[in-house]
Protein backbone atom coordinates (compact mmCIF):
# COMPACT_ATOMS: atom_id res chain seq x y z
CA UNK A 1 0.00 0.00 0.00
CA UNK A 2 1.32 3.45 -0.92
CA UNK A 3 1.49 5.56 2.24
CA UNK A 4 1.70 8.95 0.56
CA UNK A 5 -1.33 11.18 1.17
CA UNK A 6 -4.04 11.95 -1.36
CA UNK A 7 -4.76 15.59 -2.19
CA UNK A 8 -8.32 16.66 -2.95
CA UNK A 9 -8.40 20.03 -4.72
CA UNK A 10 -11.87 21.52 -4.24
CA UNK A 11 -14.09 20.76 -1.24
CA UNK A 12 -17.50 21.05 -2.90
CA UNK A 13 -19.90 18.90 -4.91
CA UNK A 14 -17.14 16.49 -6.02
CA UNK A 15 -14.61 16.86 -3.21
CA UNK A 16 -16.92 16.18 -0.27
CA UNK A 17 -18.23 12.81 -1.56
CA UNK A 18 -14.69 11.92 -2.64
CA UNK A 19 -13.36 12.66 0.88
CA UNK A 20 -16.17 10.67 2.53
CA UNK A 21 -15.52 7.71 0.24
CA UNK A 22 -11.79 7.79 0.93
CA UNK A 23 -12.49 7.86 4.66
CA UNK A 24 -14.93 4.93 4.45
CA UNK A 25 -12.54 2.91 2.30
CA UNK A 26 -9.71 3.23 4.79
CA UNK A 27 -7.41 5.91 3.35
CA UNK A 28 -4.97 6.85 6.10
CA UNK A 29 -4.18 10.43 5.18
CA UNK A 30 -5.79 13.00 2.93
CA UNK A 31 -5.51 16.74 2.38
CA UNK A 32 -8.35 19.11 1.62
CA UNK A 33 -7.59 22.22 -0.41
CA UNK A 34 -10.12 24.99 -1.05
CA UNK A 35 -9.93 28.77 -0.57
CA UNK A 36 -13.72 29.19 -0.23
CA UNK A 37 -15.82 29.50 2.88
CA UNK A 38 -19.08 27.69 3.54
CA UNK A 39 -22.07 29.72 2.34
CA UNK A 40 -25.75 29.22 3.11
CA UNK A 41 -26.35 28.31 -0.55
CA UNK A 42 -23.93 25.33 -0.21
CA UNK A 43 -25.96 23.62 2.50
CA UNK A 44 -28.64 21.86 0.39
CA UNK A 45 -26.09 20.29 -1.95
CA UNK A 46 -23.09 19.75 0.29
CA UNK A 47 -24.70 17.84 3.09
CA UNK A 48 -21.56 17.51 5.18
CA UNK A 49 -21.86 21.20 6.11
CA UNK A 50 -24.40 22.61 8.55
CA UNK A 51 -25.58 26.12 9.40
CA UNK A 52 -22.95 26.25 12.17
CA UNK A 53 -20.21 26.06 9.50
CA UNK A 54 -21.34 29.11 7.50
CA UNK A 55 -18.36 31.48 7.25
CA UNK A 56 -15.73 28.80 8.05
CA UNK A 57 -13.23 27.73 5.35
CA UNK A 58 -14.70 24.66 3.62
CA UNK A 59 -11.51 22.68 4.21
CA UNK A 60 -11.66 23.34 7.97
CA UNK A 61 -15.39 22.59 8.27
CA UNK A 62 -15.07 19.37 6.25
CA UNK A 63 -12.12 18.22 8.35
CA UNK A 64 -14.10 18.81 11.55
CA UNK A 65 -17.02 16.71 10.27
CA UNK A 66 -14.84 13.92 8.88
CA UNK A 67 -12.75 13.69 12.08
CA UNK A 68 -15.92 13.22 14.06
CA UNK A 69 -16.89 10.15 12.04
CA UNK A 70 -13.41 8.87 11.24
CA UNK A 71 -11.12 9.82 14.14
CA UNK A 72 -8.23 7.73 12.77
CA UNK A 73 -8.09 9.60 9.47
CA UNK A 74 -5.32 12.17 9.23
CA UNK A 75 -6.49 15.29 7.41
CA UNK A 76 -4.35 18.23 6.36
CA UNK A 77 -6.13 21.50 5.68
CA UNK A 78 -5.00 23.82 2.89
CA UNK A 79 -7.55 26.65 2.99
CA UNK A 80 -6.13 28.53 0.04
CA UNK A 81 -6.24 28.29 -3.75
CA UNK A 82 -3.97 26.18 -5.92
CA UNK A 83 -2.27 28.62 -8.27
CA UNK A 84 0.67 28.75 -10.65
CA UNK A 85 2.92 30.04 -7.83
CA UNK A 86 2.31 27.25 -5.33
CA UNK A 87 1.17 24.31 -7.50
CA UNK A 88 4.55 22.58 -7.73
CA UNK A 89 5.39 22.78 -4.04
CA UNK A 90 1.89 21.56 -3.09
CA UNK A 91 1.54 18.76 -5.65
CA UNK A 92 5.03 17.42 -4.89
CA UNK A 93 3.97 16.48 -1.33
CA UNK A 94 1.27 14.06 -2.45
CA UNK A 95 1.08 10.69 -4.12
CA UNK A 96 -2.19 11.13 -5.98
CA UNK A 97 -4.36 14.16 -6.76
CA UNK A 98 -8.15 14.34 -7.09
CA UNK A 99 -9.26 17.25 -9.28
CA UNK A 100 -12.55 18.25 -7.66
CA UNK A 101 -12.43 21.85 -8.88
CA UNK A 102 -15.09 23.65 -10.89
CA UNK A 103 -12.87 25.88 -13.00
CA UNK A 104 -11.28 24.94 -16.32
CA UNK A 105 -8.18 26.98 -15.45
CA UNK A 106 -7.65 24.98 -12.25
CA UNK A 107 -8.19 21.68 -14.11
CA UNK A 108 -5.55 22.53 -16.70
CA UNK A 109 -3.16 23.75 -13.99
CA UNK A 110 -3.56 20.42 -12.14
CA UNK A 111 -3.06 18.55 -15.42
CA UNK A 112 0.07 20.46 -16.40
CA UNK A 113 1.78 20.35 -13.01
CA UNK A 114 0.91 16.67 -12.41
CA UNK A 115 2.25 15.79 -15.88
CA UNK A 116 5.44 17.78 -15.21
CA UNK A 117 5.95 16.17 -11.78
CA UNK A 118 4.82 12.69 -12.94
CA UNK A 119 1.98 12.53 -10.40
CA UNK A 120 -1.10 10.51 -11.24
CA UNK A 121 -4.42 12.34 -10.88
CA UNK A 122 -8.09 11.87 -11.64
CA UNK A 123 -9.96 14.57 -13.50
CA UNK A 124 -13.64 15.09 -12.67
CA UNK A 125 -16.15 17.41 -14.28
CA UNK A 126 -19.86 18.01 -13.95
CA UNK A 127 -22.19 20.06 -16.08
CA UNK A 128 -25.91 19.92 -15.47
CA UNK A 129 -26.99 16.28 -15.64
CA UNK A 130 -23.75 14.95 -17.07
CA UNK A 131 -20.50 14.09 -15.37
CA UNK A 132 -17.08 12.91 -16.50
CA UNK A 133 -14.00 11.34 -14.97
CA UNK A 134 -10.64 10.19 -16.33
CA UNK A 135 -7.41 9.16 -14.65
CA UNK A 136 -4.12 10.44 -16.01
CA UNK A 137 -0.95 8.49 -15.29
CA UNK A 138 1.81 10.71 -16.69
CA UNK A 139 4.15 8.86 -18.99
CA UNK A 140 1.57 6.12 -19.57
CA UNK A 141 -1.80 7.53 -20.54
CA UNK A 142 -3.45 10.45 -22.32
CA UNK A 143 -3.77 13.70 -20.39
CA UNK A 144 -6.46 16.37 -20.27
CA UNK A 145 -4.76 18.31 -23.09
CA UNK A 146 -4.84 15.17 -25.25
CA UNK A 147 -8.60 15.24 -24.72
CA UNK A 148 -9.45 18.95 -24.86
CA UNK A 149 -6.26 20.59 -26.16
CA UNK A 150 -7.05 24.01 -24.65
CA UNK A 151 -9.22 25.31 -21.80
CA UNK A 152 -12.56 26.73 -23.00
CA UNK A 153 -12.80 30.47 -23.71
CA UNK A 154 -13.91 32.68 -20.81
CA UNK A 155 -17.45 32.99 -22.25
CA UNK A 156 -17.88 29.23 -22.60
CA UNK A 157 -16.61 28.67 -19.08
CA UNK A 158 -19.10 31.22 -17.76
CA UNK A 159 -22.00 29.46 -19.48
CA UNK A 160 -20.84 26.18 -17.93
CA UNK A 161 -21.06 27.77 -14.49
CA UNK A 162 -24.57 29.04 -15.23
CA UNK A 163 -25.68 25.53 -16.22
CA UNK A 164 -24.85 24.55 -12.65
CA UNK A 165 -24.30 21.08 -11.34
CA UNK A 166 -26.70 18.44 -10.12
CA UNK A 167 -25.76 17.16 -6.66
CA UNK A 168 -26.26 13.40 -7.18
CA UNK A 169 -24.31 13.50 -10.46
CA UNK A 170 -21.42 15.29 -8.73
CA UNK A 171 -21.60 12.78 -5.87
CA UNK A 172 -21.39 9.84 -8.31
CA UNK A 173 -18.34 11.38 -10.03
CA UNK A 174 -16.68 12.15 -6.67
CA UNK A 175 -17.13 8.53 -5.56
CA UNK A 176 -15.65 7.26 -8.85
CA UNK A 177 -12.68 9.59 -8.34
CA UNK A 178 -12.13 8.30 -4.80
CA UNK A 179 -12.26 4.71 -6.12
CA UNK A 180 -9.47 5.54 -8.53
CA UNK A 181 -7.37 6.96 -5.68
CA UNK A 182 -8.02 3.83 -3.58
CA UNK A 183 -6.87 1.60 -6.44
CA UNK A 184 -3.69 3.63 -6.65
CA UNK A 185 -3.22 3.35 -2.85
CA UNK A 186 -3.41 -0.43 -3.15
CA UNK A 187 -1.00 -0.53 -6.07
CA UNK A 188 -3.71 -1.53 -8.55
CA UNK A 189 -3.99 0.05 -12.00
CA UNK A 190 -6.71 2.74 -12.06
CA UNK A 191 -9.87 1.58 -13.88
CA UNK A 192 -10.08 4.87 -15.80
CA UNK A 193 -6.43 5.23 -16.81
CA UNK A 194 -6.64 6.78 -20.28
CA UNK A 195 -10.38 6.09 -20.31
CA UNK A 196 -13.10 8.72 -20.07
CA UNK A 197 -16.20 7.83 -18.11
CA UNK A 198 -19.31 9.83 -19.01
CA UNK A 199 -22.38 9.68 -16.84
CA UNK A 200 -25.65 11.01 -18.24
CA UNK A 201 -28.48 11.27 -15.75
CA UNK A 202 -31.01 13.44 -17.59
CA UNK A 203 -33.63 10.77 -18.25
CA UNK A 204 -32.48 7.23 -17.67
CA UNK A 205 -29.02 7.15 -16.09
CA UNK A 206 -26.43 5.97 -18.62
CA UNK A 207 -22.70 5.50 -18.34
CA UNK A 208 -20.23 5.21 -21.16
CA UNK A 209 -16.49 4.60 -21.11
CA UNK A 210 -14.32 5.45 -24.09
CA UNK A 211 -10.59 4.98 -24.60
CA UNK A 212 -8.75 8.27 -24.98
CA UNK A 213 -5.73 8.08 -27.24
CA UNK A 214 -2.71 10.21 -26.53
CA UNK A 215 -2.77 13.13 -29.01
CA UNK A 216 0.31 13.50 -31.20
CA UNK A 217 1.88 16.89 -30.47
CA UNK A 218 0.42 17.17 -26.97
CA UNK A 219 3.08 18.57 -24.61
CA UNK A 220 2.58 15.57 -22.28
CA UNK A 221 4.53 13.45 -24.76
CA UNK A 222 2.37 10.32 -24.20
CA UNK A 223 1.76 9.86 -27.96
CA UNK A 224 5.50 9.97 -28.74
CA UNK A 225 6.22 7.48 -25.96
CA UNK A 226 3.50 5.12 -27.23
CA UNK A 227 4.98 5.37 -30.74
CA UNK A 228 8.47 4.67 -29.44
CA UNK A 229 7.39 1.57 -27.58
CA UNK A 230 5.48 0.37 -30.68
CA UNK A 231 8.66 0.86 -32.76
CA UNK A 232 10.63 -0.96 -30.09
CA UNK A 233 8.21 -3.89 -30.22
CA UNK A 234 8.50 -3.99 -34.03
CA UNK A 235 12.31 -4.07 -33.76
CA UNK A 236 12.04 -7.05 -31.43
CA UNK A 237 9.98 -9.04 -33.93
CA UNK A 238 12.13 -11.77 -35.48
ZN1 LIG B 1 -1.50 14.93 -23.40
CATH for 191: 3.40.50.720
- Average pLDDT in the 45-51 region? 85
pLDDT at 235: 66
Q: Is residue 235, in this structure, part of any structural domain at all?
A: no
Residue 127 half-sphere exposure toward CB, CA atoms < 13 A: 14
218 found inside a domain: no
Evaluate whether residue 229 is within a structural domain. Answer: no
At 174 the pLDDT is 97
**Helical axes 15-24 vs 58-69, angle rounded to 10°:** 20
Give the integer Cα–Cα distance in Å for 184 and 1: 8
Whether residue 233 is contained in a domain is answered as no
Within 8 A by CB and 6+ apart from 163, the residues are 127, 128
pLDDT tens across 170-221, in order?
A: 999 999 999 999 999 999 999 999 999 999 988 777 899 999 999 999 999 9
* Cα–ligand 1 centroid distance for 148 (angstroms): 9
Distance 194 CA to ligand 1 centre (A): 10
Sign of CA dihedral 21, 90, 109, 83: positive
Tens digits of per-residue pLDDT, 193-206?
999 999 998 877 78
Q: Tell me the residue range of the domain where 56 lies.
A: 6-212
Q: Establish if 24 belongs to a structural domain.
A: yes
- How far is C-alpha 137 from the chain's CA centre? 12
On the question of pLDDT at 147 being above 60, the answer is yes
CA 206, CA 81: separation in Å to the nearest integer?
34
In a domain, residue 232? The reply is no
Length of the chain: 238
Ligand 1 mean position, distance from CA 221 (Å): 6
Per-residue pLDDT at 158 exceeds 60: no
Number of domains, the chain: 1
217 lies in a domain? no
22 Cα to the center of ligand 1, angstroms:
27
Q: What is the pTM of this model?
A: 0.91
pLDDT 10s digits, 78-109: 999 999 999 999 999 999 999 999 999 999 99
pLDDT above 80: residue 27: yes
In a domain, 118, yes or no: yes
Q: Residue 152 pLDDT > 90, yes or no? A: no
Amino acid sequence: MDGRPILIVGVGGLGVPAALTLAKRGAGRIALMDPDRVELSNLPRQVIFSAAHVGLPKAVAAREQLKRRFPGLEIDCLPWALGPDNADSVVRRFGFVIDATDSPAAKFLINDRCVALQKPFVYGGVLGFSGQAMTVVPGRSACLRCLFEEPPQAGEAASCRQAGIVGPVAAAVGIVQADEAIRWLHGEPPALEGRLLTLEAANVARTRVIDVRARPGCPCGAAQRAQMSEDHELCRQP
